[in-house]
Amino acid sequence: MAKIPTMFSLRHLLVLSLALNVSLVLRIVYESEQGCKLFWLKKLIGTSMAGDDSERETHIVQRARLSVSNFSTRSGDHEGGERVINLDHGDPTMYEIFWRQMGDKTTITIPGWQSMSYFSDITNICWFLEPEFAKEVVRLHKVVGNAVTEGRYIVVGTGSSQLFLAALYALSPHDAAQPKSVVSAAPYYSSYPSMTDYQKSGLYRWAGDAQSFDKDEPYIELVTSPNNPDGYVRRSVVNRTEGALVHDLAYYWPQYTPISSPADHELMLFTVSKSTGHAGMRIGWALVKDQEVAKKMTKFIELNTIGVSKDSQLRAANVLKAVSDSCGREGSFEEGESFFNFGHNVLAERWKQLRAAVQQSGMFSLPNFSPAFCTFFSQVLEAQPAFVWLKCEQGIEDCESFLRRHKILTRGGKHFGVTPDYVRISMLDRDENFNLFINRLKAIEG
């Protein structure tokens, strides 16, 4: 009688331990489905490959990412057959996986007594610029080699959107008889016209496509490079002496385009929204050559929002630091993948899938990019923009409506100053939506 419970409990212990292991594995699969996909996969693969060389590691990471994509496609399909996919905005949620993997490396704690003053550094022209943020901006541009920072004033903004308005304010004379014309070559970023005109400023006004601007008067030209929506590298097109240039370099980062040389323009705009994917932080920065322009931009932000959130600047400083730190190491699971390597690999895979889907469908065409040497990756690479500039072929005149009927929301060509047979589609959404988009595209037939 005494032996039975002992035998019984030993067996039960074994069964219980087996059950626990099975439930752990199921839990991991479940967690994968909930969004920690790559993280868990890397953990699983990582334990079985300690000591492998980094080339193989990179290969396995890519395979892991691919299998994650395929997994997402399946789960997306059976839950999302009728779901509308919204790829109208350039919401950079693709980067969540990377930042999840980074765990607490970018977590900051801000005690209640900190960041209370309006002021950050009263010796700086931009008196609300947090020194730690400014330091990390300079460091990141050095690491990436995408912009000259020496001899530049840094002005921080609530997103580069606020800096865009600050630049228009600073570059327009306040005593002119007429508002200054603001132009950009079509297809231009769809927000430029409305951002320029929504307040009906007496200082500046939207004057349309830079290519048809023929007025003999001062103007501001917005040069977006690489361009939103089409991804091409751009230069100014008006080229007259009385023009002021604003270079919007939101996408001049190695995951999107080969870095050819450090950009060296009068007024350059950058944003964490597209560089690191932290659009919700609302932080951008301007690199400005002219002191008076930097002062006026600072004045605009002072009048507009009395500075820029210190909390966001401190968080942004931490994120930029993590990106710069990650650039020194490549591939190892323990140490983490470099941020730009991650972004570049995901976009390379997505563009490959996209080109295959477009070819299979036969209904659309895509831009082609000439390969160029990238000083950051030390390789000849092709651009892989944050947006697809897709053209509907076969007589489809309204591409946005056409794709809406296939439950894909995009932004039509007219918003960018061109014909409606073009649409812009975000490439920066989460895996699940991207895969659903590719499957829908493949299924569209002529």
The only residue of 76, 80, 159, 258 in contact with ligand PLP, by rule CB under 6 A = 159
Spatial distance between the Cα atoms of 442 and 356, rounded to a whole number of angstroms: 9
- Structure token pair of residue 411: 């932004």
- From the list 63-71, 78-86, 156-164, 365-373, the region that binds ligand PLP by CB under 6 A is 156-164
The only residue of 76, 90, 231, 413 in contact with ligand PLP, by rule CB under 6 A = 90
- Structure token pair of residue 247: 């270079």
Q: Quick one: DSSP state of residue 34? A: I
Q: CB–CB of 284/163 below 8 Å?
A: yes
**DSSP H helical segments within 1-36, as ranges?**
3-31
How many chain residues are in contact with ligand PLP, going by CB under 6 A? 13
The amino acid that residue 224 corresponds to is T
Q: CB–CB of 420/97 below 8 Å?
A: no
Q: Does 309 bind ligand PLP (CB under 6 A)?
A: no
The only residue of 39, 95, 98, 189 in contact with ligand PLP, by rule CB under 6 A = 189
**Closer of 224 and 338 to ligand PLP (Cβ):** 224
Residue with the two structure tokens 């060509």: 413
State in angstroms the smallest separation of the CB of 308 from ligand PLP.
11
CA 148 from centre of chain: 21
Distances (CA, A) of 304 to 173, 272, 301, 307, 333: 18, 21, 5, 8, 45
For ligand PLP, what does the binding mask look like between residues 386 and 425, x meaning CB under 6 A? ----------------------------------------
**Closer of 41 and 166 to ligand PLP (Cβ):** 166
**Closer of 273 and 338 to ligand PLP (Cβ):** 273
**Closer of 61 and 163 to ligand PLP (Cβ):** 163
Residues numbered 198 to 257 that lie near ligand PLP (CB under 6 A) are 224, 228, 248, 250
Spatial distance between the Cα atoms of 359 and 344, rounded to a whole number of angstroms: 22
**Closer of 189 and 369 to ligand PLP (Cβ):** 189
The only residue of 32, 120, 255, 271 in contact with ligand PLP, by rule CB under 6 A = 271
Q: Does 273 bind ligand PLP (CB under 6 A)?
A: yes
Residues numbered 312 to 351 that lie near ligand PLP (CB under 6 A) are none
Residue 374 pairs with which residues in a beta bridge? 379
- Structure token pair of residue 249: 């370099």
- From the list 78-86, 168-176, 259-267, 271-279, the region that binds ligand PLP by CB under 6 A is 271-279
State in angstroms the smallest separation of the CB of 322 from ligand PLP.
19
Residue 155 pairs with which residues in a beta bridge? 286
Q: Which helix (DSSP H) or strand (DSSP E) does residue 300 occupy?
A: helix 291-305
Instruction: Provide the strand spans (E) within 279-403.
Output: 283-288, 364-365, 372-374, 379-381, 387-392
Q: Does 184 bind ligand PLP (CB under 6 A)?
A: no
Nearest position to ligand PLP, beta carbon: 159
Binding site for ligand PLP (CB under 6 A): 90, 159-161, 189, 224, 228, 248, 250, 271, 273, 279, 284
